[in-house]
């Protein structure tokens, strides 16, 4: 109605436009992946990796850090936690933009449907990063983006539909309920 046309007039007058999220796909070949057990958060030597090891490894993969543990012109190296297995193909889909919670839930439900048919994957992840200066905060505290800005959560979904939820918030933020 009239409110809608007034709002559209405001946006066009101020040169504000809607942007669609950017979606990119990539295939990672021969990726060394940690072995995980859904019922073992702490990991067991020579059997499975812990949640912390997975979180660190996932950060390295998402940031395209080399996992070959070979030093060159830098001081530190990184390798996949053990035990691990090599996956011939891993698919990475990145969606960049403002995504409402309902769409994230829809993505999560679609990922769970992935295991509806027999698949080779034992687990998959959905990682959601908030903007560093996001106005979103937990409880009654203001988001401390001026002092850090960490703001993400990660679902690890297993073939049996068990899942882990990992969260990272800044040192100056309250933890979620």
The per-residue pLDDT for 155 is: 94
The per-residue pLDDT for 145 is: 58
The torsion angles phi and psi of 75, rounded to 5 degrees, stand at -90, -30
Whether pTM > 0.85 for this model: the answer is no
pLDDT at 73 over 60: no
- Identify the three-state secondary structure at position 115: helix
pLDDT at 76 over 70: no
- Within 10 angstroms of residue 24's Cβ, the number of other Cβ atoms is 9
pLDDT tens for residues 115-147? Answer: 888 777 899 999 988 776 666 556 666 666 555
Domain boundary assignment for the chain: 22-96, 97-176
């Amino acid at each position: 109605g009239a409110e809608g046309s007034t709002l559209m007039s405001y946006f066009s007058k101020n040169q504000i436009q809607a942007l669609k999220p950017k979606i990119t796909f990539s295939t990672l070949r021969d990726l060394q992946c940690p072995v995980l057990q859904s019922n073992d958060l702490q990991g067991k030597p020579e059997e499975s990796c812990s949640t912390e090891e997975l979180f660190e490894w996932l950060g390295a993969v998402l940031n395209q850090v080399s996992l070959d543990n070979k030093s060159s012109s830098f001081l530190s190296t990184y390798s996949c936690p053990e035990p691990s297995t090599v996956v011939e193909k891993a698919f990475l889909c990145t969606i960049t933009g403002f995504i409402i919670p309902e769409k994230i839930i829809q993505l999560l439900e679609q990922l769970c449907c992935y295991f509806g048919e027999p698949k080779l994957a034992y687990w998959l992840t959905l990682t959601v990063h908030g903007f560093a200066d996001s106005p979103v905060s937990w409880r009654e505290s203001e988001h401390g983006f001026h002092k850090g800005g960490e703001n993400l959560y990660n679902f690890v979904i297993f073939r049996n539909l068990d899942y882990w939820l990992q969260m990272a918030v800044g040192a100056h933020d309250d933890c979620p309920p």
